[in-house]
Amino acid sequence: MMRALLVAAFVIVAAGPALAQETTPRYERRTLDEWTQDLDDAAPAARRKAVFALGQFGSPALAAVTRALADPEPSVRVAAATVGRRLGPGALPLLIRSMSDEDSSVRKAAAESLAAVATDSPAVVNALAAALSDRAMAPYAGNGLIRVGRPAIPALAGVLSGDEAEAKRNALTVLYRIGPAAIPVLIPAVGDRDENIRSAAVSILAQFGATAEPALPALRAALKDPAPRVRSTAVWAILETKPDPALVISDVLALLDDGHPEVRAKAVSAIGRLRPDASVAMPALTRALGDVNEQVRISATHAARAYGAAASPLVPLLVRGLGDNELLHDATLTTLGSIGPAARDATKALTRGLADPNPLRRLGALYTLSKLGPAAREAVPAVVKAVSDPEARVRKQAIQTLPALGADPNRAVPALVPMLRDGDAMVRADAAHALGQLRPPATAAVRPLVTTLEDEAPFTRFRAAEALGAMGPAARAAVGPLAVRVEDPDLFVRLHAIKALAAIGSAASAAAPALARKVAGPDVGERWEAGGALGRMGRGAVPSLIPLLREPGYSVRQVAAKALGQIGPEARDAVPALVAVLTDREYVVRSAAIDALGAIGPGASGAVASLESLRQRDPMVRSSIDRALQAIGAPVPAR
């Protein structure tokens, strides 16, 4: 036993030094002291490698790295400045000193390290702020100040009050990144001696939007800045602060006399943003539309849109822009369209545009005429001619414009019907749609539209069905073909065929059997659509609806009962069938049958006994039955 204890003690004592050795920090199997000795190596590469290795030991290597910062070789000092960020807070003074190194690469490395570990310590912030004047350090110093955030603002204010232009530009960039908290410091910069600084400060304030409202007095003062760039930017900045228009409009109007066209253009645009009363804006925009500078005229044209019909006094001046370059031409078209019918005096000029060799201009003129509506009806003959334009997109717009102008169907139909055979499916579809929009309904177009129901393109068939529906009872001649289309392969064609039959109403009762088949079919959406259509057909649909009350699907029975209720008194022949479903197992069917009997009214007197009996048995429908009995004219039992 004693021998075993002695052996164990020997093992522990012998192992002790080995365990201690293993806990000594090492990098690449070498200790801190061993790497420190390499700082005395004659080879710069060895010293540089030693510094990077020492950085792996953290704060214990601070003294050794401090030595390296005094090394005569710049690359060694760069290495020391680079690893400084790993050495903890004690390294901050060393990094700050290194930012004064004679070698720019050392200063750069020191600034980068300090930025990475920057704190709001005054010494750190001031060092980074001072570095903004050094081209090598500025990007890294800026990042460090951004990292510090608001506590860096006083130091940056100091930079802005100095004379070094580059440092001030860098400070503005940092303040922008810090955000609206920097606004109080930026306001004085709006009055800086340097035009570039003033312009940048105004631009930054603009990007802070409404939060920059405290800067408004300075920005208004900047409207009188000697530099056009600053004045122009100040207009933008003022708008972004969302000021009370009454407060700044006089300042903006004064700029219409500015000697620089860019400033005048910005001021005119501001009128559209501020939207002063038309009595103030129209004279100003009138002046601007006569400006010698094209950009000012374009800006005035855009600004006029904000006033809609109130801008009609500008129409004679706006029309002049139709003969100008593309930018002004297009802006004029859009603005005339925004004025709408009040721009009727532009009709002749727009009509002339339909003969322009440029198809885009013809297209724009047509679209603008459509926005003027019936007020531009005198353009109809020219639009009719444009329906056969060689460009498909122009033909399409001309087709869409005719109904918008309120064209007489007798004039429009002969132009539109041939377009139902156009080689472009979209043109055919638009022609069908336009025929449906004409008022009064273009009955002469019914047969051509019926033919179009056979078009190879589903979208065109759908538009033809839609157009026939838009004509309502005037399209009664299309009932048979529409009844066929309720079985079209395309869902949208089927739905619009059903809608069209519904719009034709009682004149479409011949299609009731086809619609009844849709009610009994598998598609729930079509079922309800067809049921609604049958409900609009009156007495002629009743024979087709009665059998549906005996269908196995409860939704079919419900739709049929609702359709009969929609028909109302003319559905009295369905009363016995409705009475039969008063005992239906489905509540929605019973409820629909009760409502239908009430809608039929006195003609449903034969159902009174059944309703009274159900009232006693089924409390869920009692209130519905009371309403039905009252509509029928029968006494309502007391509750």
> Within a domain: residue 639?
yes
pTM: 0.82
DSSP assignment string, 504-556: HGGGGGGGHHHHHHHHHSS-HHHHHHHHHHHHTSGGGGHHHHGGGGG-SSHHH
- The yes-or-no verdict on residue 253 having pLDDT over 90 is yes
> Within a domain: residue 623?
yes
Q: Is residue 448 within 8 Å of 414, Cβ to Cβ?
A: no
Q: How far apart are CA 277 and CA 419, in angstroms?
A: 47
Q: How confident is the model at residue 324, as a pLDDT? A: 75
Q: How confident is the model at residue 12, as a pLDDT? A: 38
Q: Is residue 209 within 8 Å of 218, Cβ to Cβ?
A: no
Q: How confident is the model at residue 503, as a pLDDT? A: 98
* Torsional class of 633: left (φ above 0), alpha (ψ -120 to 50), beta (otherwise): left
Q: How far apart are CA 335 and CA 338, in angstroms?
A: 5
Q: How confident is the model at residue 639, as a pLDDT? A: 67
> Within a domain: residue 10?
no
DSSP assignment string, 131-166: GGG-TTTHHHHHHHHHHH-GGGHHHHHHHHTSS-HH
> Within a domain: residue 135?
no
**pLDDT band for position 13 (50/70/90)?**
very low
Q: How confident is the model at residue 9, as a pLDDT? A: 38
Q: How far apart are CA 265 and CA 401, in angstroms?
A: 34
**pLDDT band for position 223 (50/70/90)?**
very high
Q: What is the domain range of residue 630?
A: 543-639
pLDDT digits (tens, 9 = 90+) for 525-569: 999 999 999 999 999 999 999 999 999 999 999 999 999 999 999
> Within a domain: residue 232?
no
- Side chain identity at residue 181, one-letter code: A
* Sequence-distant (≥ 6) Cβ neighbours of residue 374 within 8 angstroms: 341, 405, 406
Mean pLDDT of the chain: 95
> Within a domain: residue 289?
no
**pLDDT band for position 23 (50/70/90)?**
confident
Half-sphere exposure of 516 (CA within 13 A, CB side): 22
Half-sphere exposure of 254 (CA within 13 A, CB side): 10
Q: Is residue 553 within 8 Å of 524, Cβ to Cβ?
A: no
The partner residues of 30 in beta bridges, in order of sequence, read 27
pLDDT digits (tens, 9 = 90+) for 267-276: 999 999 999 9
* Torsional class of 559: left (φ above 0), alpha (ψ -120 to 50), beta (otherwise): alpha
Measured over the CA atoms of residue 605, residue 609, residue 613 and residue 614, the dihedral's sign is: negative
> Within a domain: residue 556?
yes
- Tokens describing residue 593: 């049958």
Q: Residue 518's Cα: distance from chain center in Å?
A: 40
Q: How confident is the model at residue 32, as a pLDDT? A: 96
- The yes-or-no verdict on residue 20 having pLDDT over 60 is no
Phi then psi for 552, rounded to 5 degrees? -70, -30
Kindly state the average pLDDT of the residues 571-578: 98
> Within a domain: residue 632?
yes
Q: How confident is the model at residue 637, as a pLDDT? A: 84
In the chain, the percentage of residues whose pLDDT exceeds 90 is 95
pLDDT digits (tens, 9 = 90+) for 43-95: 999 999 999 999 999 999 999 999 999 999 999 999 999 999 999 999 999 99
- The yes-or-no verdict on residue 257 having pLDDT over 50 is yes
Angle between helices 425-437 and 392-404 (to 10 degrees): 10
**pLDDT band for position 638 (50/70/90)?**
confident
Q: How confident is the model at residue 22, as a pLDDT? A: 55
Domain count, the chain: 1
pLDDT digits (tens, 9 = 90+) for 159-198: 999 999 999 999 999 999 999 999 999 999 999 999 999 9
Q: Which CA distances in Å does 244 have to 177, 212, 233?
A: 28, 14, 19
Q: Residues 583-592, buried b or exposed e (16+ Cβ, 10 A)? A: ebeeeebbbb
Closest CA to 465 of 480, 450, 476, 477: 450
**pLDDT band for position 202 (50/70/90)?**
very high
* Sequence-distant (≥ 6) Cβ neighbours of residue 269 within 8 angstroms: 235, 299, 302, 303
- The yes-or-no verdict on residue 3 having pLDDT over 70 is no
* Sequence-distant (≥ 6) Cβ neighbours of residue 416 within 8 angstroms: 387, 399, 402, 431, 434, 435, 445
Question: Can you give the CATH number for the domain in which 636 is found?
Answer: 1.25.10.10
- The yes-or-no verdict on residue 154 having pLDDT over 80 is yes
Q: How far apart are CA 274 and CA 253, in angstroms?
A: 11
